[in-house]
Structure 1
């Protein structure tokens, strides 16, 4: 492995952030040069001070002072030149600083063994003369200027998810089940993942060369070996998990399956060693300070690490990769101590990968993505390093499983790779729904019936984002596709009329019921979109068609209270208060029969009835006052007439 714990630290993915990470790449850089005493003179520095792309040069001879200064440059773009004699001692620390774009090694000794630098993607070569280095620097910075901005692929990054009844945990765990399900068969294999890697690293010659080798040589049984390298493979994979980039994760599905499967096989081979005794592992990494705050606030609670996690049996190795207190902007050094209970049987696999790693001396272990731990303690052990103790127990996994099962019992339809978008919409994650289906349609060719579900869910997602015209586009696509499916089913049912109660006719009836349910969802969604657009006649038309369909097809999964409530709301907005009252009361009556009294739908129905009653009372009061004023006015007019 490239480093212990690097799968969730900044080292392995920092260059993803820098793939064209600034549109104003022609702006200048700060050049920081760490050199051995006596190996650099003013003339050499002046070569760089006079370059247009360099706005200042900061030379240092002490590593600690250099690292400290780098921490003050978090708002600058930085180029780092290191003396080869000093590079090894700090490269693993500085490589993870996100605003360092390029690192160059400089030495007068061309015979030095610099094979190790290939493990660090930001290192762009070793140079013995200033002119060659200057030429390379100019080439790299101009290359950066034409790269596409890839940072928009990754947003809202987080390392952990609390294990409780929250939307993020439910969405992530459900997606994991879908991703690993044999039911999700993809049309393309490794080619899709290779396209993703090449797109992200467009313009990065070093990584593209590695991707070419990967495309030529990759085999499923080499997934662990590739993961332990410091390269594109683990960086994009873990970054995608942290940011919950569903489109990318679906495109990388084959590699995730390969890596997970290999870890499962390794775990079974090593099971006796893990099962018979308590085990302790360590992972060191610079961790964002906001994530440390999360861990501190959740001591005693369960947490899930979203990515694959690299660890080691060697405490000293983990300490080294924690950064050992180096001042990195917005990060702090963290040492994780991971304790595994005796007789622990994991849901996600973990295994020693020492014999498969290019770094066997690090005694590496990989934990599968989505591993669940209990946070035992979080404390500062030095002025600049935190110790976080995590435990993995059977009890913790049982709690997580029960949470998911509890959630599934409340769903009115099974969740699979087609209907997952419906769940995301219910969790109010419309952006994720759109991202998910973009990825899904890249790797499978759904049936027409499945496309109805996909179009409908995309329409709902755009509605939730208040993109009403786009919502109508997708809902109308769903409606048109549904008509085609209905016609096909009608022909098939006609052909099987003479086979009453045959397996085929039973299956067709089931499919017909499913189509009717989909149609009811489309009618309702079209109704609420037109409702939001204040096109009340069209909205009412779809609501009424929906009620007719429910009665005709005897659809039982629909919550009539929601529909009656929507119709009542529509009548309220158009001033038809009697009709609004009628439908609000219908909604409340249905909700009280079908739902608990504290159900959100029931409470909403009750609130609407009460609000309308109050409104009617206020309107009656106004009408009564108006009548009194009219009577008084008439009386006064009569008096005036009599006096005249």
Structure 2
């Protein structure tokens, strides 16, 4: 046979194991390298090996064989059989996850037997049956000792969280729902149906394996609940399918395996009770396995904390047996670990375990099998060396039921009662999957139930309602609408008109109508529900949800005071009727925070979002969609506060969660892309901003109706970016598109319309179309005064813009009138997160020698200084800002000595509290330089401007306007004095070219 031909072709194509890659058996591959010609004996062995592992790969070329082995994922366990080419042993010995190398019928005439120094004598065979038996045993033992899904909690450091980490002593929501999921699996079920589900999974995965199919047939014929353990520990399909599903948390398969899981649990429980007198003498058991490096680092960090194994767990009384499973492993991506588990003082335990030595074929193994979700305390972790093998000994102590902490017990009990309301277990599983964020799985279980019950079943309406609600979460509004229509049709035929299910249906119809922008119809639906609930008063949480829905509707329409009132009604009801960590409470807090944000109360909004995130981090998995949305909301508030870097970090966290989710909500992802576009726009990286904005627009176009309000937000962002790029005509086009959508979907006095008017005015202002800009500014003021408070920060911005236009037009009387309004508002607000008075002072430059306006400004500054020095004495940097404002006003009046006095006080305060290169110094040195210029001292002015320039280069973006302005101040005549290295000249030339 030619060296470059592989022996795989000797088998019929449709009989090759490699042609079918089942997800259940991807953990192992057998690779056999041999230069034998095909023989009946050879094919017989291959068929026997395929009974053990489906994936058998045959090679006759050493290079091809090595290339294949090295191409495999390190997660796949590799078993190598060599019947020739022993020289490759040193080359493959160190490849990760090669569990064993076997020598079979090596031709000693052609080999020098050098392999014996690398291969354990127990792995050298000439007898085919002994080879097959050894591989069968090794695969079984390795399978039973695969890395288990672990959950951790550090009692002392609650910050230890990641995707695989579940909060145990604080009971994270994910952990609770996983346990509730298992509780449902352990409910008595119709055995024939459960058995049929189990067999269908097994036959699907072993459809091309005749040996396993034969065993499945035997299982169907002979299986009884009292021999579940025998089947589980038998070398066959059962343990492979069960362990893989539990290890990978494949909920769909786990449910279909409920027969064997339930029977295993019950048999272990019976054995635990039967063996109680014997088990008390077993003080320690061991388990050897490789642990992912990241998980091991968490295990180290939580020493003294808790760990849970979320699968059936095989252990041994013999530490030497446990050692076999890590022998030869080195510390890399995985860490060799022996768990030493102390079983003393078990007390009352909720998870059974049993001594199953008499059940196994290899009785010397002395196996103790634990059921799922045993919880252990991490006692210690020690690095050890034995037979030149470095490993870590992790000592665990089993936790009794009495010692398990459970601060969320009230929520657990509440959720259990919620689940008990479902008349069918499959519906309860759909609910659990939805609460865990597995929305596709939720829909699967609801649809599974809809196929099992009759269309005339009254519960069918509830099923369609639940499917619709899940589709709405995913943004699938068409599917959601169809399901609600089906639900309503069925319930009207089968149920009395006052049945509680109608509250659910009309409530969901109202939410869907809100999402689709049909606000009038939506309010009618919600009011219908509210009237029903007030008459029945059976469910306070449902009443609270209706208030939330009404609040959301008014919020979208811009009626924020009524929205806030409804949200507060909902929160009051929820705090009385729900556990404190219930997700409905966090949702209402989120809503109140959003309204506070819109109304300009950014500090309160951010505090509320932090409360929400704190609750969610204790009750949700770290990658839950709700946490992603909280990150988005926090980022939006930080964006309003001009904290771009911090906002960007929160938006990126949100996007990471959403893109990793198996149930992607593309509408939400589009929103996050839009937020990232805003961040890069603020950073003046316009090309990247446009890229994210286009990605948002494309997703919205695929999933939303063309007049949806989300498009208005995206059009607004496009307009801002193009305006910043100098393309004002394109910016106006996008704003007119935005205004068209808003005028169709929103009330005439909605604050969003005010923003659009203002943005149009700003662009027309920049185009020097002053009269047209002024018209839009005044339209914006009218709307803001109707929809927001008269002291809202948005109106300050608009007034400042109006002042600027009147100043340019020379209409100082109107300019003074609006400027006085600005001062009055700022004096009233005194909030750090609003534009400071320094920005307002810039508008005074056009008033020339108008002493009245200066007197008003000085009075305003004096009042602010007195209030802040009393209320905020610990904030000297705010005081420094006020000193700067005093200096600015005195300078504009020509009272330079007083101006220098206050500028110097501002500088002294900053020097005491800021690092030397802080950007805050730029303005101060700029002002002092300007003042020296007024004195006629050009030399001192240049020194101050040079200080400002040097700090600006270190603390501001290279294209910041301050740097450009300072370069103009540092004119050509002074280059010889101040520009020793030529940097000023070079940078001025750069900006001239720009």
- One fold, TM greater than 0.5? yes
Q: 1:162 to 1:265 in 2, by over 3 A?
A: same
Q: 1:7 is matched with which residue? A: none
- Do residues 181 (structure 1) and 187 (structure 2) align? yes
User: Aligned in 2, Cα 1:485/1:372: closer, same or farther, shift over 3 Å?
Assistant: farther
String of CA shifts for 1:556-576, please: whole Å, max 9, x gaps.
3345454344334334434xx
| TM value normalised by structure 1 | 0.68
Cα distance in structure 2, aligned partners of 1:240 and 1:536: 45
- The Cα of 1:430 is off from its aligned counterpart by 2.1
Within the candidate set 145, 149, 157, 1:158 is matched to 149
**Structure 1 residue 305: Cα displacement:** 1.0
For 2:797 and 2:373, the matched residues in 1 are separated by 61
User: Could you say if the C-alpha distance between residues 584 and 405 of structure 1 is closer, same or farther in structure 2, counting changes exceeding 3 Å?
Assistant: closer
Provide the rounded CA distance (Å) in 1 between the counterparts of 2:289 and 2:365: 14
Q: Cα deviations across residues 288-325 of structure 1 (Å, max 9, x unaligned)?
A: 333323322322222221111111111111111x2214
Partner of 2:204: 199
The equivalent of 2:670 in structure 1 is: none
SS at match of 2:539: coil
**Residue 273 (structure 1) shift:** 2.1
Match of 1:226 among 200, 222, 231: 231
Secondary structure at the counterpart of residue 540 of structure 2: coil
Give the match's secondary structure for 1:332: strand
More helix per residue: 2
Distance 1:356 1:32, change over 3 A: closer
User: Would you say the 8 A contact 2:507–2:529 is kept in 1?
Assistant: yes
- SS of structure 1 residue aligned to 2:341: strand
Corresponding residue for residue 68 of structure 1: 93
Q: Say whether residues 1:407 and 2:418 are aligned partners.
A: no
Matched, 1:211 2:246: no
Query: Match for residue 144 of structure 1?
Result: none
Deviations 1:448-495 (A, max 9, x none): 2443333333322232233333333333333333334415xx8xxxxx
Q: CA, structure 1 residues 380+594, in 2 after alignment: closer, same or farther (shift >3 Å)?
A: same
Q: Displacement, 1:362?
A: 0.3
Q: Does the 8 Å CA contact 1:33/1:81 hold for their aligned counterparts?
A: no
Query: Which structure would you say has the larger Rg?
Result: 2
2:553 alignment counterpart: 570
* CA-to-aligned-CA distance 1:503-553 (integer Å, 9 cap, x gap): xxxxxxxxx7xx41x332332233323333334344334323322322343
Shift of 1:47: 7.8
* C-alpha deviation, 1:216, in angstroms: 2.9
Could you say which structure has the greater relative contact order, defined with CA pairs below 8 angstroms and 6 or more residues apart? 1
Tell me which residue corresponds to 1:49. Answer: 61
Matched, 1:375 2:384: no
1:621 Cα offset (Å): 5.4
Partner of 1:20: 21
- Name the CA shift for 1:586/1:34 in 2 (closer, same or farther; >3 Å): same
The answer (yes or no) to whether the contact 2:148–2:310 under 8 Å persists in 1 is no
CA distance in 2, matches of 1:455, 1:306: 33
- Seen in structure 2, the aligned counterparts of structure 1 residues 162 and 260 have a Cα distance that, compared at 3 Å, is same
Return closer, same or farther for 1:347/1:17 CA change in 2, 3 Å cut-off: farther
Aligned to 1:312: 316
Partner of 1:504: none
Q: Which residue in the other structure is 1:145 paired with?
A: none
CA distance in 2, matches of 1:84, 1:404: 62
Is residue 461 of structure 1 aligned with residue 470 of structure 2?
Answer: yes
Tell me what 1:323 maps to.
Answer: 326
Candidates 588, 591, 600, aligned match of 2:586? 600
- What is the aligned counterpart of 1:582 among 540, 548, 562? 562
Q: Which of 290, 294, 297 matches 1:290?
A: 294
Q: Does 2:307 correspond to 1:299? A: no
CA separation of 1:376 and 1:251: change in aligned 2, threshold 3 A: same
Q: Give 1:439 shift.
A: 6.2
Q: Is the CA contact 2:150–2:310 (under 8 Å) kept in the aligned structure 1?
A: yes
The SS at the match of 2:354 is strand
Instruction: Give 3-state SS (helix, strand or coil) of 1:324's partner.
Output: coil
The answer on 1:533 being equivalent to 2:533 is no
- Over aligned residue pairs, what C-alpha RMSD do you find? 4.7
Instruction: Kindly indicate whether the alpha-carbon contact (under 8 Å) linking 1:306 and 1:369 is maintained by their aligned counterparts in 2.
Output: yes
Alignment match of 2:104 (pick from 83, 86, 98): 83
Q: Distance in 2 between matches of 1:411 and 1:32?
A: 52
Task: Report matched runs for 1:348-387 at 5 Å.
Answer: 348-382=351-385, 384-387=390-393
Q: Which residue number corresponds to residue 484 of structure 2?
A: 475
C-alpha deviations, 1:351-383, integer Å up to 9, x for none? 111111112110111111121211222333236
Cα deviation for residue 109 of structure 1 reads 5.2
Q: 1:448 aligns with which of 442, 454, 457?
A: 457
8 Å CA contact 1:459–1:472 kept in 2: the answer is yes
Aligned residue for 1:264, secondary structure, equals helix
**Which residue in 1 is equivalent to 2:174?**
168
Separation (CA, whole Å) in 1 of partners of 2:449 and 2:411: 27
Match of 1:332 in 2: 335
> 1:340: how far off?
0.8
Q: In the superposition, relative to structure 1, how do residues 300 and 558 fare at CA in structure 2: closer, same or farther (>3 Å)?
A: same
Specify whether residues 483 and 593 from structure 1 end up closer, same or farther in structure 2 by C-alpha distance, changes over 3 A only. closer
Structure 1 contact 67–326 (Cα < 8 Å) conserved: no
1:631, CA displacement in angstroms? 10
d(CA) in 1 for partners of 2:34, 2:595: 73
From the superposition, tell whether residues 332 and 592 of structure 1 become closer, same or farther in structure 2 (CA, over 3 Å): same
Change (3 A) 1:244 1:559: same
Tell me the equivalent position of 1:497: none
Mark the CA change 1:485 to 1:283 in structure 2 (over 3 Å): closer, same or farther.
Answer: farther
Q: Which residue of 2 aligns with 1:241?
A: 246
Secondary structure at the counterpart of residue 397 of structure 2:
strand
CA distance in 2, matches of 1:255, 1:111: 31
Question: 2:437 pairs with 428, 446, 449, which one?
Answer: 428
Question: Is the CA contact 1:280–1:340 (under 8 Å) kept in the aligned structure 2?
Answer: yes
Stretch deviating more after TM superposition (460-469 or 591-600): 591-600
Match of 2:596 among 604, 607, 610: 610
Please give the alpha-carbon distance, in whole angstroms, between the structure 2 residues aligned to 1:237 and 1:605: 43
Gaps of 5+ in 1: 1-15, 36-45, 94-104, 124-155, 491-511, 640-644
Pairing partner for 2:349 from 335, 346, 350: 346
Query: How far apart are the structure 2 equivalents of 1:623 and 1:362?
Result: 80
TM-score, structure 2 as length reference: 0.46
- Between the aligned partners of 2:383 and 2:563, the Cα distance in structure 1 is 61
Structure-to-structure mapping, 1:97-176, within 5 angstroms: 114-119=132-137, 158-160=149-151, 161-163=166-168, 164-176=170-182
Of the structure 1 ranges 527-536 and 278-287, higher mean CA displacement relative to structure 2 is found in 527-536
Q: Deviation at 1:242?
A: 2.4
Counterpart of 2:396?
390
**Counterpart Cα distance in 1 of 2:127 and 2:503:** 76
How far apart are the structure 1 equivalents of 2:30 and 2:270?
48
